[in-house]
Amino acid sequence: MTKDAQAAIQFSHVHYQSGETKILNDITGWFPKNHITTLVGPSGAGKTTLFRLCNGLISPDSGEIYIDDQKISSYEPVALRRKVGIALQQAVMVPGTVRKNLALPFELQGEELPEETAKEMIRLVGLDESFLDRNAKDLSGGQRQKVSIARTLVMKPEILLLDEITSSLDRVSQQEIEELIVRINETYQTTIMWITHNLKQALSIGEYTWVMMDGELVETGESSLLKDPQNPRVRTFVKGESE
Amino acid sequence: MSFLLLGLSLIFVLIPLVLSKTLNLGLEKDAVVATIRAIIQLLAVGYILQFVFDAENFFYIFLMVVLIIGAAVQNARKKGVSIKGITWKLIVTFVFIEVLTQGILLGLNITPATAQYIIPISGMVIGNSMVLSILFLNRFTSEIESREAETELILSLGGTPKQAIHRPLISSIQASTIPTIESQKTIGLVQLPGMMSGQIIAGADPLQAVMFQLLIIFLLLTTAVVTSAMLGFLSYPTLFNERMQLLKPDKQ
Ligand SMILES: Nc1ncnc2c1ncn2[C@@H]1O[C@H](COP(=O)(O)OP(=O)(O)O)[C@@H](O)[C@H]1O
Ligand SMILES: [Mg+2]
């Protein structure tokens, strides 16, 4: 990976296991600041677990994670989670309206979401303002993903982690979200990490790519590496995915 | 009532045994065990109570209450094994309930400070508190599991453990106290409460029996709500660590 960029997140020999099962094994690598990095790999590779570590929902069993060159353990948990925002794979909604969901990060701080921010965010993710009064449980999968992204964005995180937000969506919604991610990166210079198992997306949107398999980081570099991977395991994976 | 007459009443045990046998219900073993246990336990309690009543010594009353609480903890803790230190939390809850209820009853002279009142009322209050604890712990552990995604969502957005657990906690408190409140709405209409029936059979003035039953109903309302709320607020912090992470069973 080119070294002209600063590291937003850096991993040094990170291990994580659940019971006796190793889930992440000796992860060492970094995500460049202000860029979009895609994270690809077969299901069960440990991608979601890696994100949960970055947002502080879990801690590594050994090794160190640095956010902006500071040990992750030196951050106060609430501050860390607002700095490193995550949109979870399932796009869970709390019961109530879309507005209530967007207001959640403010509510948790004992504040009210300014109406202007609500409108700005809902428009940014490509939904019109009438959606604010809709019940979250009546949204389609794609709309839920958009609201979930907007809800994380109202915290103005410096780093945004997006976990398979397009995998259950049709082609049109996928494209809208791809454009949205590029727009967020351009508008706020947000550092974005994006898990996808769509390699075309990884090639067209991300500038950098991580390939993970069986809890290991097997390849990292500019996304074009996916066109002609040298690593035989990555080659097999890419071949399998593009069939 | 004599032991001979009590022996005759075993007919009521024989009927289900015969039915179970002919219909292949497979209840025989449990029914026999339940009958024998009930006979031994209640007779033992009867003799112990007789002894304590005659002795008129506060130490024995205290000992009885400790025994009641011990048995209740023993029963309820099995439902909360996933919560760290559940035994102590149950002890604290039951002791608090006992002190609160007896404190008010004796402090305001609502009931006299004799074994005859303190022990049965403690038994009912702690027994009810135990049932509530079990209801609450069952509900709370399943709510935590079914709402795990929502709990983690709130944590991931910078919420505190208290904020993240709020809905599972409140809905478990509500759900566990509803049966107590519901059953008291129809009390006296559908069935006469056990204690009142017992008193009436033993020859007490029905109005006196009713007044005591009302006292118990009021006590049980307090018991239900205080038990669930207290146990809930004592328990939820053990589900998280100091990094505000929801602990999984294997990481506890
Ligand atoms: N809390 C957990 N307990 C046990 N196993 C887990 C847990 N979380 C994830 N895993 C396992 O870890 C592996 C990696 O999971 P995950 O990070 O979700 O992968 P990915 O997002 O790449 O599909 C999987 O085999 C999964 O079953
Ligand atoms: Mg995943």
* A199 has a pLDDT exceeding 90: no
Label residue B189 by pLDDT band (50, 70, 90): low
E-assigned strands of B66-209? none
Give me the interface pTM, i.e. the ipTM: 0.95
pLDDT classification of B245: cutoffs 50, 70, 90: very high
End of a domain among B38, B55, B72? B55
- pLDDT attached to residue B250: 57
| B80 lies in the same domain as B42 | no
Instruction: Report the first-to-last Cα separation within chain B, whole angstroms.
Output: 55
Cβ of B214 under 8 Å from any chain A Cβ? Answer: no
Q: Are residues B137 and B28 in the same domain?
A: no
Question: Are residues B99 and B202 both part of a single domain?
Answer: yes
A23 lines ligand 1 (CB under 6 A): yes
pLDDT at site B190: 63
Verify that B19 and B86 share a domain, yes or no: no
Q: Is 0.90 topped by the overall pTM?
A: no
Domain membership flag for residue B180: yes
Please report residues of A whose CB lies closer than 8 A to that of B152.
57, 88
Judge whether B19 lies within some domain. Answer: yes
Mean pLDDT of B77-86: 86
B120 and B30 part of one domain: no
Q: How far is the CA of B2 from the centre of ligand 1 (A)?
A: 67
- Give contacts of A57 with chain B, Cβ < 8 Å: 152, 155-156, 245-246
Q: Is the CB of A161 under 6 A from ligand 1?
A: no
From B55, B74, B89, give the residue that closes a domain.
Answer: B55
Q: Which has more confidence, A177 or A61?
A: A61
Report the alpha-carbon angle B44-B48-B49, nearest 5: 115
What count of Cα atoms within 13 Å lies in the side-chain half-sphere of residue A87? 31
Minimal Cα distance from B245: which residue of A? A57
CA distances (Å), origin B83, targets B77, B87, B146, B169, B202: 9, 9, 16, 14, 44
Atom of ligand 1 nearest to the CA of A50: 17
Measured between beta carbons, which residues in chain A are less than 8 angstroms from residue B246?
A: 57
| Domains in chain A: ranges and CATH | 7-242 (3.40.50.300)
Cα–Cα distance for residue pair A197/A20, rounded to 1 Å:
27
Position B250 in a domain: no
Determine which of A104, A121, A137, A149 to mutate to test the interface with B (most B C-beta atoms within 10 Å): A104
Residue B249 lies in a domain: no
Q: What is the pLDDT of residue A194?
A: 94
Q: Confirm whether B91 is domain-assigned.
A: yes
Q: Which domain covers residue B89, as residue numbers? A: 57-239
The answer to whether residues B161 and B234 belong to one domain is yes
Nearest to B153 among A78, A82, A88 (CB): A88
B48 plus B61 within the same structural domain? no
How confident is the model at residue A173, as a pLDDT?
83
| The pLDDT of residue B251 is above 60 | no
- A210, A32 Cβ separation under 8 angstroms: no
Q: Residue A2: its pLDDT value, please? A: 53
Across chain A, mean pLDDT equals 93
Give pLDDT, residue A1: 55
One domain for residues B47 and B107 = no
User: Do B127 and B2 share a structural domain?
Assistant: no
Region B69-88: mean pLDDT is 90
pLDDT at position A203: 86
Stretch B56-83: mean pLDDT: 91
Indicate whether B101 and B179 sit together in one domain. Answer: yes
Confirm or reject: Cβ of A49 under 6 Å from ligand 1: yes
* Chain B residues closer than 8 Å to A82 by CB: 157-158
Over range B75-83, report the average pLDDT. Answer: 86
| A216 — pLDDT class (breaks 50, 70, 90) | very high
**Cβ atoms of A56 and B245 closer than 8 Å:** yes
Kindly indicate the confidence band of residue B191, based on its pLDDT and cuts at 50, 70 and 90. low
A43 lines ligand 1 (CB under 6 A): yes
Please tell me if the CB atom of residue B251 comes closer than 6 angstroms to any atom of ligand 1: no
How many domains are contained in chain B?
A: 2
Q: How high is the mean pLDDT of chain B?
A: 91
Kindly state the tokens that stand for B51.
């002894």
| Per-residue pLDDT reduced to its tens digit, A2-59 | 556 799 999 999 999 998 999 999 999 999 999 999 999 999 999 999 999 999 999 9
B143, B74: one domain: yes
List, for residues B104-149, the tens digit of each pLDDT value: 999 999 999 999 899 999 999 999 999 999 999 999 999 999 999 9
Measure in Å the smallest separation between the Cα of B245 and chain A Cα atoms. 5
For the segment B154-163, the average pLDDT, to the nearest whole number, is: 98
Contact status, residue A226 vs residue A203, Cβ threshold 8 Å: yes
- Is any Cβ of chain A less than 8 angstroms from the Cβ of B165? no
pLDDT in tens, A117-158: 999 999 999 899 999 999 999 999 889 999 999 999 999 999
pLDDT at residue B252 is higher than 50? no
If asked whether residues B45 and B130 sit together in one domain, one would say no
CB atoms under 10 Å from CB of A231, counted, come to 14
Higher pLDDT, B227 or B252: B227
Query: Which of B37, B55, B73 is where one domain is finished?
Result: B55
